[in-house]
Amino acid sequence: MWMVETEMAFSKLENAMDCADDFFKVLCKWALDNCIEDMKFVCKRIDKTSIDRLQSATSKPFAKITYTEAVEALKKAKDKMEVKVEWGFAFTTEHLSYLADEIYKSPVIIYNYPRDLKPFYVRLNDDGKTVAAFDMIVPKVGKLMSGSQNELRVDRLTKRIKELGLPKEQYEWYLDLKRHGAVSTSGFSFNFDLMLLFTTGMTNVRDVIPFPRGLGKPNN
């Protein structure tokens, strides 16, 4: 997997979500503007909806919902789910696909996840139960990007490290970064291979990795 890691200073969760939204739309538009002949081939031979999907992604605003709103939406479709969802549970691939492909029929950003589902360094929200983190879900693929706002408060970080049973001495260097002055930062991780999967409409990520593969060739 090829990953793009984005980190921004002087930014909060909302800035990271807006940047992820813009970044995704720019990539969709670039593919249409610069690779239209390739996209016509893809549309003819692989997925007839590929060009329409890219055009739709660039022209429509993304839905942005909280984790709690996503849970409530999925509960309404519980008869169609193999795995039932409850607040505090991690979403499965089935849940994410249903949100993007069936309910919203477009990319959707889910934010404010339960704190137990995210790492210790994600900023705790004022409710004490959720953290400033998000996932971008897109049709045909599922989770394409994950991001968060980083926690600056040393006391909150120390508490989370203790709650998760992590060895505090191994994280003193990280705590020092916050003790001696820091600014609000946020960012996200972007999966390049899954973007190709979304663009082309291929069904298996192994078919879009940028490396040659051949039957019976373990070195490939």
CA atoms within 13 A on the CB side of 12: 6
CATH of 3-24+58-200, one of 3.20.20.10, 3.40.50.1820, 3.40.50.1110, 3.30.930.10: 3.30.930.10
* Residue-wise DSSP of the chain: --EEEEEEES--HHHHHHHHHHHHHHHHHHHHHH-HHHHHHHHHHT-TTHHHHHHHHHHSPPEEEEHHHHHHHHHTTGGG-SS---TTPPPPHHHHHHIIIIISSS-EEEEEEEGGGS-TTBPBPTTSSEEEEEEEEETTTEEEEEEEEBP--HHHHHHHHHHTT--GGGGHHHHHHHHT----EEEEEEEHHHHHHHHH--S-GGGTSSS---TT-TT-
What is the full per-residue pLDDT of the chain (220 aa) written as tens digits?
Answer: 789 999 999 999 999 999 999 999 999 999 999 999 999 999 999 999 999 999 999 988 889 999 999 999 999 987 888 888 899 999 999 999 999 999 999 999 999 999 999 999 999 999 999 999 999 999 989 999 999 999 999 999 999 999 999 999 999 999 999 998 889 999 999 999 999 999 999 988 888 887 766 677 666 5
Taking only the tens place, the pLDDT of each residue in 51-83 is: 999 999 998 888 999 999 999 999 998 788 888
Distance, CA of 169 to CA of 157 (rounded, Å): 13
Write the pLDDT tens digit of every residue in 158-185.
Answer: 999 999 999 999 999 999 999 988 899 9
pTM for this predicted structure: 0.90
